[in-house]
Amino acid sequence: MSERKVVKPTPAELMEDTGTGVDYGVRPDRLPGFLTPIDRFFLRGHAPTPRLDAATWSLRIEGDGVREPVTYGYADLWERFPLVSMVRTIECAGNRRVLFGEAYGRGFAGTQWGRGAIGTAEWTGVRLRDLLERAGITAEAREVMPEALDRIRARRPMPLAKALADDTLLALAMNGETLPPDHGFPARVVVSGWLGAASIKWVGRIEVSEQPLRVPWNTEDYVLIGPDYPSGPVPITGLPVASLVELPWPARLRPGPQVVRGRAFAGENAVTAVEYRVDDGPWRPASLTEPRLPAIWVRWQFAWDARPGDHTIQVRATDDQGRTQPGTVPWNDLGYLNHAVLSHPVRVEP
């Protein structure tokens, strides 16, 4: 048997195996709490999980955008900076790619995600801003790029303003536990509301640059490309509003009154409303539970008296910018940002 590429167990009752050995989605019907437990938080890796040793690990902050390069050890991060905890949702830009392909009757290369490439955790760590300010940011600094110690040296720049935001973190812990190896130990970035790929795991270096940085992840890998993008690749940043029904696909339910539940997430924005419709019925409001905050998913639910037969449940969420999930999304060659309203198949039988 070949070596596993990830460390944590990924049992089929909690996670969906996409077949790559490094990418596992959470099962949408296995999300009991508001936070996603580590045992089922989705995993996305472009290479096997590296086993890093905190005792020898260091973080270097350098580049022409800092006045004085600095190097921090693991203990420095815990001891020399204010610790911040925040709940944030991370979603992969490729979430729902399989359903995107099905809507267009053609497939995509790339990880075969169903609906499970999303999760919410309480992240604890140090603000990126605090780390950068210690190095002295130059007046001309423009971009900040965390870089990983994994085999592919994963890296993805963000504008300086995003790096300095209150809720851009270098996380050391997840749901109250030391960051697990698969989720980026010893340190990972959490870039609130952006595509998951910006939240670099296993960070070993942060470059601050006075020039725009071009790397594969913002020029060819995490971009919108195709006939609908004639002026060239559009790098993906914040994520659009989308929703999830907490049922298997397809779902099987017993007849009678029940509560259908789910989540909705709107990237850097807050979800303000969720509506649902069964078969060809009218759109009706679902009820949302608190809190309804930017960059964190919300829970919603509605009561349904299910009658025997085959049904379709559709859900559409709206964000605080007034944007609602569309019926269809335009094609892009890499299958990103599928936030179209999904027709969830449900069979009701005794």
Ligand X SMILES: Nc1nc2c(c(=O)[nH]1)N[C@H]1C(S)=C(S)[C@@H](COP(=O)(O)O)O[C@H]1N2
Q: Which residues bind ligand X (CB under 6 A)?
A: 41-46, 90, 92, 148, 150, 154, 183, 196-197, 199-202
Q: How far is the CB of 200 from ligand X (least distance, A)?
A: 4
Member of 196, 204, 262, 335 binding Mo ion (CB under 5 A): 196
Regarding 44 and contact with Mo ion (CB under 5 A), the answer is yes
Q: How far is the CB of 41 from ligand X (least distance, A)?
A: 6
Please say whether the beta carbons of 30 and 42 come within 8 A.
no
| Minimum CB–partner distance for residue 30 and ligand X (Å) | 15
| Other residues' Cβ atoms within 10 Å of the Cβ of residue 170 | 28
197 near Mo ion, judged by CB under 5 A: yes
> Angle CA(187)–CA(192)–CA(193) in degrees, nearest 5?
140
Residue 264 exposed, middle or buried by CB count within 10 Å (0-12, 13-18, 19+): buried
Q: How far is the CB of 113 from ligand X (least distance, A)?
A: 9
Nearer residue to ligand X within complex by CB, 187 or 264? 187
Segment lying near Mo ion (by CB under 5 A), choices 45-53, 134-142, 195-203, 307-315 = 195-203
Residue placing its CB nearer to Mo ion in the complex, 203 or 274:
203
In terms of DSSP H, where are the helices of the chain? 74-80, 97-104, 128-135, 160-163, 216
SS3 of 203, please? strand
Tell me the closest approach of the beta carbon of residue 153 to ligand X, in angstroms: 8
* 203 near Mo ion, rule: CB under 5 A: no
Q: Is 119 in the site for Mo ion (CB under 5 A)?
A: no
Q: With contact defined as beta carbons under 8 Å apart, do 190 and 146 qualify?
A: no
Q: Which does 239 bind (CB under 5 to 8 A by kind): Mo ion, ligand X, none?
A: none
Q: From residue 240, how far is each of 229, 233, 243, 336, 342 by CA, in Å? A: 17, 18, 10, 11, 15
- Min separation Cβ 92 and Mo ion, Å: 3
Query: Which run of H or E residues covers position 29?
Result: none
200 binds Mo ion (CB under 5 A): no
* Residue 92 in contact with Mo ion, rule: CB under 5 A: yes
Residue 57's binding partner among Mo ion, ligand X, none (Cβ under 5 to 8 angstroms by kind) is none
Least separation in angstroms between residue 194's CB and Mo ion is: 10
- Of the ranges 13-21, 74-82, 91-99, 234-242, which one interacts with Mo ion (CB under 5 A)? 91-99
Tell me: cis bond preceding 345? Omega within 30 of 0 counts.
Answer: no
Cα(317)–Cα(302) distance, integer angstroms: 14
**Of ligand X, Mo ion, none, which one does residue 52 interact with (CB within 5 to 8 Å by kind)?**
none
- Helix, strand, coil share (%) of the chain residues, nearest 5: 10, 35, 50
Binding-site ranges for Mo ion (CB under 5 A): 44, 92, 196-197
